[in-house]
Amino acid sequence: MKNLTIISLALLTLFSACKGSQKSSDEDAALKSITINDDDANTGDFSFDGKSLQGDVSTQYFGDKVKGNYSVLCQHDNQGGAENPDFALLQITFLNESDAINNPSLKVHDGPTLAMSDPQPGLVAISLSGRGNGLIKAKSFSGTDKTTGNISVSDRTLRLKDITLYNRDGAMKTVNAKISF
């Protein structure tokens, strides 16, 4: 009986170690599927609530660079510290890079992320988050079925015109942007 208990504990330890290793491998694989490009040192301009901000632009590929989602991010960080936070992130996610550059009929998606199970050309997820400037840490703004405004891309310059985004509480922000990527 004592040997059976020791063997059972050894097997349980082995299975737990293997399971933990698999989780780490899955997390590593997910992180490796995101490619971030911030080498070009582009800046973009965006505004909401009458506040005009300028930020660094980066792009992200989620998975395959041809078929995976493609995001353009504009990040304003004025390093205001804990007493005076001044951080805002505007993220625009497209079906893929080709859709971002070539689709003339872009429409804001109802939600903060695109559905991976039903990819649709022309749908764009827009999210505004941050801290300070009227933004609250855990309350991002994104497109909903009430969203209005216009989104276009020409010569790798993204333009948002009077895009209305909402948070979970129903609060609204109207966003305008010009971001070269």
pTM of the model: 0.77
Average pLDDT over the chain reads 82
pLDDT at position 132 is 85
123 and 137, same domain (yes or no):
yes
> In this predicted model, what pLDDT tens digit does every residue of 127-175 receive, in sequence order?
999 988 788 877 999 999 999 999 999 999 999 999 999 999 999 999 9
> Distance between CA 51 and CA 167 in Å, rounded?
18
| pLDDT reading at 123 higher than 70 | yes
Residues 114 and 27 in one domain: no
pLDDT at residue 138, as a whole number:
76
Same domain, 87 and 61: yes
Same domain membership, residue 164 and residue 92: yes
Q: Are residues 21 and 8 in the same domain?
A: yes
Q: Is the per-residue pLDDT at 25 higher than 80?
A: no
- Specify the long-range contacts of residues 111-114, CB closer than 8 Å, at least 24 apart: 111/142, 111/143, 111/144, 112/140, 112/142, 112/143, 114/69
In order of 65, 75, 147, the CA distances from 88 in angstroms are 26, 6, 20
Residue-level pLDDT at 37: 64
Number of domains, the chain = 2
**pLDDT value of position 19:** 45
Q: What share of the chain is helix, strand, coil (3-state, %, to 5)?
A: 20, 45, 35
Which structural domain range is residue 23 located in? 1-32
Same domain, 7 and 23: yes
